[in-house]
Homo-oligomer: A and B are copies of this chain.
Amino acid sequence: MLEKVSQVVLLKDFYGPLLTAKQQEALNMHYENDWSLSEIAASMNTSRQAVYDLVKRAEGILQDFEDKLGLVARFQRTRQNLDELKLILEDSKADNPRLNQAVSLIEEISALL
C-alpha cells in the first residue's frame, strides 16, 4: 500500500495540473491527508461510490500520461544516479574543497527534479 501511495503521489507531482480541480482535490485528500473515501464523500457531499470512481479515474489518467511520457520513470533513474554521484563526491571532497561546490550543485539539481 505504501508503495502504491508514493507512486500515485509521484505521478500527481508530475501530471497533477492536468487533472480537474475536483480530481486533484480528491487525490490530495486521499493520498496526502490520508482521508478515507467515506470522509471525502462526506466533505464533498456525495456518495462513497462517486468518490471511489473519481479517485480511480484520476489515477487512470495520471497513469495514461506516464505511459505516454514516462517522465516519472526517467526522474527515478535520474534521482538514483544523482544519489550515487553525491556519495562519490561526499567521499572525495575532503581532498578538494571545490567539490563542496559540486555537492551544492547536486543538491540544487535534486531540488529541481
Contact = CB atoms under 8 A, between A and B. Distances in A.
Given A77-B112, A95-B96, A112-B78, A88 B101 contact: yes
Contact of A91 (B77, B98, B106): B98
Interface residues of A, number: 31
A14 B74 CA distance: 12
Contacts of A84: 105
Integer count of this chain's copies in the complex: 2
A109 interface: yes
Interface of A: 14-15, 17-18, 65, 68-69, 71, 74, 77-78, 81-82, 84-85, 88-89, 91-92, 95-96, 98-99, 101-102, 105-106, 108-109, 112-113
